Every structure is written in C-alpha cells, then in structure tokens.
Amino acid sequence: MNKHTKTAAQFLTAAALAFSLPAMAQATMDHSKMGMDHSKMGMAAAPGMTDGEIRKIDKENGKITIKHGEIKHMDMPPMSMVFNVKDKAMLDKVQVGEKIQFIVIQDAGKMVVTDIKGAK
C-alpha cells in the first residue's frame, strides 16, 4: 500500500467513525432523564366509561343518540351524537331519558358503543 492509498484509507475510516458515533450515542440515550414519558408517546388511551343520557334509540338500524360528557380516550368534548352499537340487543336494556355510562371505540371509521350500563 503506498502512502496516498494508506492516507485515503485512514481518512475514510475516520470519516465513517465520525458519522456513526452520533447515531450510536442517540440510540443509547436515556430519554427518561429528559422528562420524556414513553407511555404516552404514540399510544392511544384505553377506552373508559363515559357519562351520558340517551336521547333516541333506533333499534332497527342499531343506533343510539347520546348526549355525552367528554370522551377522554378520544379527546372528544361533550356533545350529542349518534353512535352505532356493537350488539342491537344492548338497545333492549335501555330507554330514552336514562342516564348511562358507556364505552365507545373507533371501528372501521365508525363510532361504536361496545358497553352500556345504568349510571350510578
């Protein structure tokens, strides 16, 4: 190996090392010491019970209109809206005007009520 080839090889090795060290350092960095909460990054909150009042029941189409409080896991403010129900049989257990607690999820682009209970 002549002097120029050896110098070029040393330069390329040094350049490769210089570019890889920042990436390696970033990969091993402890983000918890920087105040980052990985439990909240890129994860949706688990569905919880939401308070509401039944305004309308459409058994034939499997839909229910609920005036509801904040749906926290969907970051949705209080409002009245129509929901699909997972099982039409749920609609036989409730009536218009009843105060309830319910769970709603997003399923195939639709808001679907998966559970309904009388309010406590």
Q: Domain extents for the chain?
A: 3-38, 50-118
Tokens of 100: 């309830």
Could you say which DSSP state residue 106 is in?
E
| Beta strand ranges found along 18-107 (DSSP E) | 50-58, 63-68, 79-85, 99-107
Assigned CATH for 50-118: 2.40.50.320
pLDDT per residue as tens digits for the range 36-82: 444 444 455 788 899 999 999 999 999 999 999 999 999 999 999 99
pTM of the model: 0.63
Asked if 112 contacts 84 with a C-beta cutoff of 8 angstroms, the reply is: yes
Tokens of 22: 């920042």
Could you say which DSSP state residue 30 is in?
-
